[in-house]
């Protein structure tokens, strides 16, 4: 098992505290908190990974509600390895349609046939 050690040093504390003093559960977010912008697949995966390491984080999303449809997502081999590493790959495989091939052609060809 590999262990990742990460240390982030911020030298712009005054700017961060002044511009990004969000409220979370009645408590102010401090410089010790990690803020993840975007509740897409990457933001949620990072948040889950940090949570499993015992590191608290705040996920910010601009949408006012979750969507259950209306999007497409393509995941390549490295993406599946990343999802497997946080333990969600198999659950996602149960719900996805595997692409067995891709045909690429020009628009000109389609309209001249």
| Pairwise CA distance, residues 83 & 105, whole Å | 31
Domain ranges of the chain: 13-112
Confirm if 29 and 58 have CB atoms less than 8 A apart: yes
- What is the rounded (10 degree) CA torsion for 43, 49, 50, 56? 70
- DSSP H or E stretch at residue 28: strand 27-28
Tokens for 85, please give them.
């590493």
The encoded tokens of residue 19 equal: 């511009």
The residue among 46 and 66 whose pLDDT is bigger is 46
Percent residues over pLDDT 70 in the chain: 64
DSSP H helical ranges for 20-106: 41-52, 77-85, 89-95
Mean of the per-residue pLDDT values of the chain: 72
| pLDDT, mean of residues 107-113 | 67
- What is the reported pTM? 0.52
Asked whether 36 and 58 are in contact (CB, 8 A), the reply is: yes
């Amino acid at each position: 098992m590999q262990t990742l050690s990460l240390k982030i040093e911020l030298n712009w504390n005054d700017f961060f505290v002044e511009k990004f003093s969000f409220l979370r559960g009645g408590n102010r977010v401090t410089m010790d908190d990690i803020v993840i912008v975007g509740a897409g697949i990457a933001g949620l995966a990072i948040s889950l990974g940090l949570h499993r390491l015992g590191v608290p984080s705040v996920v910010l999303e601009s949408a006012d509600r979750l969507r259950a449809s209306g999007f497409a997502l393509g995941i390549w081999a490295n993406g599946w390895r990343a999802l497997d590493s946080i333990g969600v790959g198999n659950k996602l495989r149960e719900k996805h349609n595997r692409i067995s091939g891709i045909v690429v052609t020009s628009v000109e060809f389609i309209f001249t046939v």
